[in-house]
Amino acid sequence: MADSILQFEGVSKSFFGVRALDDVSFSLPGGHLLGLIGENGAGKTTLMNILGGVLTADSGTMTLRAGKYAPRRPADATEAGITFIHQELNLFTNLSIADNIFIDRFPRLGRSPFIDRRQTRRQTAKLLESLSLSLAPQTLVDRLAPGERQLVEIAKALSTGAGIILFDEPTTSLTAAETQRLFDIIRRLREQGKSMIYISHNLGNVLELADDIVVLRDGRVVDAGPARDFTIDRMISRMVGRAVDQVFPTRRSRPSEDIVLEVKALSQAGIVRDINLVLHKAEVLGVFGLMGSGRTELARMLFGLEPFEQGRIRVNGAPCDCISPTDSIRRGMAFVTENRREEGLLMDATVLDNVGLVSLPAFASPRFPRLLRHRQLGGAVARIVESMRIKSGPVARTLARNLSGGNQQKVVIGKWLMSRPAILIMDEPTRGIDVGAKYEVYGIVNDLTARGAGILLISSELEELMGLCDRILVMSKGEITGDFDRARFAQESILHAAFEGHQGRR
């Protein structure tokens, strides 16, 4: 067994009397990749913040290369050779790749305050080359695709010469190909002797990459050991504390013949071409595609957030040529966007304000339509929060920012449930949320269809679509390249359709 490079011993941390971490002990062997898994709220983030010097532990110690390690500021962690790659990227879109990488330690021209630009460029080029990223160092980050940005973050981490690298959900915004490329790089880093901690809800990825796995639940280490002893089932059951025999809940309803949404020959130059689709009442229609296939853009066009040049959209049989989100909502549509932080939630508003937002007109006072009936609104929101089991403090005082990712997503969905939509478009509704919360989202999808809503479900997780949908449409390069009925669901042919037009290049 390799010597441990980093060790946690009896680390505990409480927030306002609530235990976030309880006597956590494990060690990271040098040159290994350790997969750290657990549901949202299990304490992974707290633990990483303690390691990074953002928080200090109440008790317990950390040992780094046989010496005591007690960081008090993020800079201490950097100095000790520990670097973090966060789920949200910390890049400056208005600056070049080179500027981003060297922002806190530009090489200087001698002792002058001036940047040695040639040196900066050359070092950046070398880093980018080591990641097989063929981009010019002067390229503005604004122009990069999400996958490329992620790799720039890694280049930044490598440029510090760190020996320990932490990945926190690094693949959420990556395409399948970009993910594989990232994994190749991670493996190469391990060969070079870097030690890594990899946090992810994508258990398959963790199992594929990790040498060791540590499972956290409710702030405690509930399982740890070599990755080869783990299976996905064991990981899930340890994480949630019970065996999960069924990932997807059984459907209680069947699609009807009534059409709620019909799209004919929808086109927008450079984005989508000739899109035709039909969504029935009580149907879950999946849309699968790689990133950049135009699936999100399609969803935004249907809801009226982006323009289209040609085509017709009919909602409940009525044509609507010029649509805006306001019209769409009035027609009974709802849209759970893929980006809950920026588009789905008012982060600094309360849960009450967030959930009630869309339905405010329904709570106007009958005599003074400009005034709200507060008590009724509060009651309705409380019922939604209760029925969706959103874990939150008092709804009128808890800010959306302070909820865990899974609960935030439930707030986004809850907002639309309040408006009782006939058509619900969901773009990546389970991205970055844990197994338990995913299961609950699936349950909500089922309940809605049982009530007769039609759901357009966009997801990168094929298993999820195959488990939930009645039909799956596949998009590639802005066109629909496949249409599969439940009876014809097969992973291989769906993926094949998603890669259509991508052949001949990697």
103 binds another protein (CB under 8 A): yes
Site for another protein (CB under 8 A): which residue of 56, 59, 94, 376? 94
Residues 446-505 that bind another protein (CB under 8 A): 477-478, 501-502, 505
Site for another protein (CB under 8 A): which residue of 65, 117, 121, 190? 117
Q: Which is nearer to another protein, 68 or 506 (CB)?
A: 506
Window contacting another protein (CB under 8 A); options: 12-20, 114-122, 238-246, 409-417: 114-122
Q: Which is nearer to another protein, 241 or 501 (CB)?
A: 501
92 binds another protein (CB under 8 A): yes
Dist CA 326 CA 57 (whole Å): 48
Angle value at C-alpha 241, between 23 and 55, nearest 5 degrees? 35
For residue 262, give the 3-state DSSP assignment: strand
Window contacting another protein (CB under 8 A); options: 97-105, 330-338, 420-428, 447-455: 97-105
Cβ 221 vs Cβ 24: under 8 Å:
yes
Based on the number of CB atoms within 10 Å of its own CB, is 485 exposed (0-12), middle (13-18) or buried (19 or more)? Answer: exposed
Window contacting another protein (CB under 8 A); options: 90-98, 215-223, 257-265, 388-396: 90-98
Site for another protein (CB under 8 A): which residue of 2, 3, 15, 90? 90
**Which distant-in-sequence residues (6+ apart) come within 8 Å of 440 by Cβ?**
388, 389, 406, 410
115 binds another protein (CB under 8 A): yes
113 binds another protein (CB under 8 A): yes
String marking each residue 295-334 x if it binds another protein according to CB under 8 A: --x-------------------------------------
Window contacting another protein (CB under 8 A); options: 23-31, 36-44, 109-117, 226-234: 109-117
For residues 135, 140, 144, 149, the Cα torsion angle rounded to the nearest 10 degrees is: 90
Strands of the sheet containing 59-64, edge to edge, are 18-29, 4-15, 59-64, 67-68
Residues 270-299 that bind another protein (CB under 8 A): 270-271, 292, 294, 297
Dist CA 301 CA 205 (whole Å): 33
Dist CA 439 CA 244 (whole Å): 10
Q: Which is nearer to another protein, 429 or 478 (CB)?
A: 478
The position carrying tokens 């982006």 is 306
Dist CA 36 CA 54 (whole Å): 19
111 binds another protein (CB under 8 A): no
For residue 298, give the 3-state DSSP assignment: helix
146 binds another protein (CB under 8 A): no
Question: How many Cβ atoms from other residues are within 10 Å of residue 351's Cβ?
Answer: 30
Strands of the sheet containing 220-226, edge to edge, are 82-85, 164-168, 195-199, 33-37, 212-217, 220-226
String marking each residue 232-271 x if it binds another protein according to CB under 8 A: --------------------------------------xx
Site for another protein (CB under 8 A): which residue of 17, 104, 191, 243? 104
Based on the number of CB atoms within 10 Å of its own CB, is 15 exposed (0-12), middle (13-18) or buried (19 or more)? Answer: exposed
Nearest distance from C-beta of residue 109 to another protein, angstroms? 9
Question: How many Cβ atoms from other residues are within 10 Å of residue 247's Cβ?
Answer: 14
Site for another protein (CB under 8 A): which residue of 12, 106, 378, 496? 106
Nearest distance from C-beta of residue 199 to another protein, angstroms? 17
Residues that bind another protein (CB under 8 A): 74-75, 78, 86, 90-95, 99, 103-106, 108, 113-115, 117, 143, 145, 156, 270-271, 292, 294, 297, 477-478, 501-502, 505-506
